[in-house]
Structure 1
């Protein structure tokens, strides 16, 4: 009896172990099948690798300056009697702007003119007398010298009188006036600013190594933060012939048309110097680039060799200049290929991919 029970228990244990071993083998087989089963394709967005004209540019920063700009002031002190302009007014060259009290200067001019008339009469009378030898030659010379002296005094009084009023030295726009009638102005006191903004200068600096790339007449794309998205083209008009000892930069000046006075002196400008004529370059969207410690790479859409469908091919590339969301590819891609622009984080070498109909985008480059 004890032997039969032991055999029965042994049979039960062996049967249980066999069942567990079979279940484990079945589970392992299922897991291996799942592991080696083909992965479902990953949906990605792609863009075409194209060749487009590309103009190389050099970024810079500058400041806008008026073609002509000064602070108006008067040379002599005095009391303001007339203000002949309004703040923000457009004036022309020679237009009267300000008048100081000039009664004293006018009286001095009147005296000088009266004395000049008397000296001229004496001179004319002396000219007749010296011909008949009624007076000596030295006396006639004295009368001639006296006439010249009074002419100089008239000119002096005329200049002193002219300094009592202010005129516009050039055409432009008056700023906010800083004087009123009755104010006593000291000499050189600022009356207002005058700016000729029909054209502007934009001054910027380039490294001494880049001076050889700048030429007179070269085009520059100008953007100001006050008008985002709007570009204006300036032309290089002057290059400083000396390098700054402290910064090792060279100052460059460009002329910028401003027909509607939309740009103002003092604005900060972002510049793109057009360095050369456009040349064909292979470009892709900048978002296609993936970075790693070993370099930059992209995922290229490639045909599966053994099965139908596309796979992601990881390819290292060498990039160049970037602009407006585009990047130049110097090595690694050829026009006509397609690169993944979205979904790279789900990919690795050989991952099956599916390009959705609405995820195919053209690769466009901004205007050269």
Structure 2
């Protein structure tokens, strides 16, 4: 196994040398030519490639003896940096959507919590819709009854029209029989008149004449009975029609419409009642759907104002941050207004310890001066969405200007002290070493920027214990 590993190393030694040469070259180039902005933008690359203590000129001052035991001093590194303005800022939602239910009711289910991310169309809360569902069941039963009544009314209407046809055929039949009876009656009267003349002349007996008279009376009575029956049928129907209507089919249609008006009205009422119930059921379903509150857009829940079991009101129930976008708001003085432009990049450093900075750009500048603070409001939209950032948090906004200034950098390990007692450096003053308190802030992961306390010519101790 050992021989195999040695064989692989002998075969790959050229690649190891090439890798070492390329890495060293990149580290030298990055250390010499990278500026502060590049190192801040790529901190992980800076950690790997930036080694100024290896390649830059050595300004260390050594005393006689072992370097590990003797204090090591050097001057702070001076670099050019753009002048940065800092403003206290507050995190806020870029766009808040106030959501409220269309109807008043008691919250049955609450499906989201504050800080939760939601998608468009997600169910947020649901009101108690039990009464509406019971009302919907009641309307469904009423609709079934109404449809049954509609079918019955339709059958009654059709039967009424068919009955009109039957009565009309009966009237036609009575008319035919009436005409036949009238013809027989008239024929019988003529025959009786002839028989009466023959009786006077002695050709017919009196009994035969009486028989013919009885026959005439019988046929007359039959004719009158048929006429009375026909008139009775005609009187039960409305057989009016326009004078210009001569077609039998047109007359029949008119007669059907005139004599089935009640049944048709009942059918129309049943149809109307069915439509009303269908509309009520549709409205009931719509109201049930409106008892659920959905997310109109994707985003994150900022605030839930109500709990399960509480009654809704006309105030917002949920506040949604659209797309989860956050902004920072801060105020500037009148003299800094000319330095602020829409779209200008900013850097926000949250006050929460351990939080990473977030870049953004200015998207709104107020057009008036706040009377109370004598400042002009500016809002910048943050690019990245971080779960650690919440509306209401504080921090500092840094805005770079076109001007340049010199800053002093020292290694982070050379700075002693803490926030409560203060930070300090060990400076060489002649032949002695003294403690000097300084104001500083982190510049990157390995360096601190000295704001006040030393000059560029001071020598500070690097290898402090």
TM-score (norm 2): 0.40
Computing the radius of gyration over CA atoms, which structure comes out larger, 1 or 2? 2
| Higher helix proportion (structure 1 or 2) | 2
TM-score (norm 1): 0.49
| Higher strand proportion (structure 1 or 2) | 1
